[in-house]
Amino acid sequence: MTNSNASRVSTELTEAQIAVHWQEQELIQPPAQFVAQANLTDPAVAERFSLENFPECFKEYADLLTWQKYWHTTLDTSNPPFWRWFVGGLINASYNCVDRHLPTSKGKAALIFVPDSEDESHVSLTYQELYVRVNELAALLRDFAGLKAGDRVTIHMPMVLELPITMLACARLGVIHSVVFGGFSGQAAGQRIADSQSHVLITMDGYYRSGVPLDHKEKADIALAEAASEGQAVDKVLVWRRRPGQYLSNTPMVEGRDYFVDDLLRDYRGSRVAPVPMPAESPLFIMYSSGTTGRPKGCQHSTGGYLAYVTGTAKYILDVHPEDIYWCMADIGWITGHSYIVYGPLALGTTSVIYEGVPTYPDAGRPWRIAERLGVNIFHTAPTAIRQLRKAGPEEPSKYNHRFKLMVTVGEPIEPAVWYWYYEAVGKKQAVIVDTWWQTENGGFLCSTKPALDPMKPGSAGPGVPGIHPVIYDENGDEVPAGSGKAGNVCIRNPWPGSFQTIWRDPERYVATYYAKYCKDPQSKDWRDWPYFANDGAVLAADGYVRILGRVDDVINVAGHRLGTKELESACLTVPEVAEAAVVPVADEIKGRIPEVYISLKPGFSASAAIEAKAVAQIEAIIGKMARPKAVHIVPDMPKTRSGKIMRRVLAAISNSMSLGDVSTLANPEVVEEIRHMVQGEEPVAVKEAPEDIRRFGDE
Ligand code: PRX
């Protein structure tokens, strides 16, 4: 029942030892101008959302939505840990994000699309136009594609207006969308099509990245072949065109299977589709994420609980007001984009910006020019992008007159030096920063400061957000007290409405991965006995601020993208010459971590650049380019324990120039020096201190 990987967090470390990169930082108060206009300024929120008021406190979030039928039971715990929120309620997410804003705001921009090319002007889509486009597409999906409530659809699209339009059209019908990040390969999309049993794939011909047109439709053919090999047939591929009427792909359209959406839409002009009343508990979407095994898991999110949670947290933590111009640079293909580009901001009736390109194209001033031009006042991004922008253009923000009231960092720990640049250079000391910690599984934020109420602490996420009660447990399930300076496993004591409902078609894995470890009594129907285990290590300071140390499972966080080491290893094993593969994280100045690959070959083969290239090509084909390793090392043998287990910890130490520790008990200690020599060269490299997640990587 115990997840042995979780034991990697040593509870003996002091906070000072853990803080390899940084020490405990000073508190910084939110700027007064921010506080004066903030949505959440009443300190009584802590009392309202205390455990004594759980679960009824979340009515406050549910009441931000328009229900077709009001719910009767806030939380049903009769089948733990499969929590059911707002039971009895009927609601439609598309109605809440679109229709309900029409009486007051139909002429206001719901979405602004900023193309990759700076020569192309941006496109604003008003709430009225969004309403029309969502309705027409919903009619097409229903009448042409035959989709109905409960069906799954895989959407593999880049950052364009048509992506949220497609999601909202699905939501209007109660169709469960599974958006796959556009950067994932065709095979990765195919696996997800098969797992979600989608009969329809919605894709796009191509898009632009750093001035280069990319063929995206070619991935659809690979995806369909992969899905078919897993027994899932797709009968329709709906292809949006980046520019209606022009085809950006070199891949032929398949007669009777592939259709251009812009062509089909002509038949649906003026169509209106009544938003289907969905039970609060019906799934809104599936979002795949990486874990300890080779296969990604489909996190299933609900309609009512999820929408209530992202709306409430977007209002209180992101401080979204309807009149704001809000820009989140994440990709909609990840959970951040679902919750905080599409559903949360649109449910609040604000203007949300969608950017097709990369932060540093054509130069590192681009984000600040976009912000200045559009009047963006809330800016949301990840430490990797901040590090990149700081490195490429530290002075750039000072050249522009953008003015943010609030800035967000999400996805990875942020180093204080980087935080201060964000605060001083980008925010001009006028913007409050929220460092939001959460995961695909969670739907919305778990830890963050309340922007007008709590001081900021660079490098720390902060306390639990309203209604979230974090706790740090050691391996024995004992609480690690706040301020003890000891690391442990961060858990949440209570359920919350945004949490995923299960892993799609794998409820056992849901229980085993997130709840079994610290469940106090598997028979209990009391939520207090079922803390949520986040699979992250953390330290809780005396002031209740949580500092996240990183994953305690086999996941590597690359530039804020979650990659399973097992997924990369399985990709390497598809190279015929490869006998064994081990993937370890290497610390990187910009991307946080990058995977590095070790492979050993089957007898009769010798190391060659061609085999290394094949391993890289397989990783890119099976997962995507963002998983490209820093290096591939072909080793004579893997360092192994006497029982034959590959010692990934030793490989991680070599890749990161860390002390190797005692390797004498290995079955083949001599190979360690050989590999070290191969990777580091003649002279041993000076021993470095590595961040905590790397130091404990591969421990049992
Ligand atoms: O390790 C934590 C890290 O990102 C993981 C979740 O990744 P994903 O499901 O892709 O969701 C990313 C965006 C919500 C976590 O387990 N992480 C996320 N936010 C932070 C973070 N680490 C430190 N600080 C954060 N603010």
Element (H, E) at 299: strand 297-302
- Give the confidence band of 592 by pLDDT, cuts at 50, 70, 90: very high
d(CA 317, CA 406): 9
Give the pLDDT score at 21: 52
Distances (CA, A) of 392 to 403, 565, 594: 21, 30, 20
Query: DSSP of 118-132, one letter per residue?
Result: TTSPPEEEEHHHHHH
Strand order in the sheet with 152-157: 258-260, 236-240, 200-204, 152-157, 176-181, 283-289, 297-302, 502-503
pLDDT, tens digit (0-9, with 9 covering 90-100), for 420-471? 999 999 999 999 999 999 999 999 999 999 999 999 999 999 999 999 999 9
- Give the confidence band of 11 by pLDDT, cuts at 50, 70, 90: very low
Give the pLDDT score at 692: 81
Residue nearest to atom 7 of ligand 1 (CA): 439
Residue nearest to atom 26 of ligand 1 (CA): 437
- pTM as predicted: 0.95
d(CA 336, CA 410): 8
pLDDT, tens digit (0-9, with 9 covering 90-100), for 466-500? 999 999 999 999 999 999 988 899 999 999 999 99
Give the pLDDT score at 697: 83
Pocket mutation for ligand 1, best pick of 8, 289, 439, 546 (most atoms within 8 Å of C-beta): 439
Q: Is the CB of 536 under 6 A from ligand 1?
A: yes
- Lowest average pLDDT, out of 5-14, 47-56, 329-338, 456-465, goes to 5-14
Q: Which atom of ligand 1 is nearest to the CA of 409?
A: 26
Per-residue pLDDT at 549 exceeds 50: yes
Q: Is the CB of 551 under 6 A from ligand 1?
A: yes
Residue nearest to atom 2 of ligand 1 (CA): 550
Per-residue pLDDT at 5 exceeds 90: no
**What spacing in Å lies between the alpha carbon of 560 and ligand 1's midpoint?**
7
Residue nearest to atom 6 of ligand 1 (CA): 439
Q: Which atom of ligand 1 is nearest to the CA of 461?
A: 26
**What spacing in Å lies between the alpha carbon of 437 and ligand 1's midpoint?**
6
Give the pLDDT score at 13: 52
Q: Is the CB of 411 under 6 A from ligand 1?
A: yes
Q: Give the position of tokens 């059911």.
A: 84
**What spacing in Å lies between the alpha carbon of 88 and ligand 1's midpoint?**
32
Residue nearest to atom 25 of ligand 1 (CA): 437
Q: Is the CB of 440 under 6 A from ligand 1?
A: yes
Give the pLDDT score at 2: 37
537 token code pair: 């290590």
**What spacing in Å lies between the alpha carbon of 366 and ligand 1's midpoint?**
26
d(CA 240, CA 247): 9
Q: Residues of the chain with pLDDT > 90: what percent?
A: 89
Give the pLDDT score at 661: 85
Q: Is the CB of 336 under 6 A from ligand 1?
A: yes
- Give the confidence band of 20 by pLDDT, cuts at 50, 70, 90: very low
Q: Is the CB of 438 under 6 A from ligand 1?
A: yes
Residue nearest to atom 22 of ligand 1 (CA): 412
- Give the confidence band of 6 by pLDDT, cuts at 50, 70, 90: very low
**What spacing in Å lies between the alpha carbon of 436 and ligand 1's midpoint?**
8
Pocket mutation for ligand 1, best pick of 445, 536, 549, 626 (most atoms within 8 Å of C-beta): 536
Q: Is the CB of 289 under 6 A from ligand 1?
A: yes
Collect all residues with Cβ–Cβ distance below 8 Å to 345 and sequence separation of at least 6: 314, 318, 320, 326, 328, 351, 352
For helices 648-655 and 670-680, the axis angle rounded to 10 degrees is 30
pLDDT, tens digit (0-9, with 9 covering 90-100), for 137-185? 999 999 999 999 999 999 999 999 999 999 999 999 999 999 999 999 9
pLDDT, tens digit (0-9, with 9 covering 90-100), for 175-205? 999 999 999 999 999 999 999 999 999 999 9
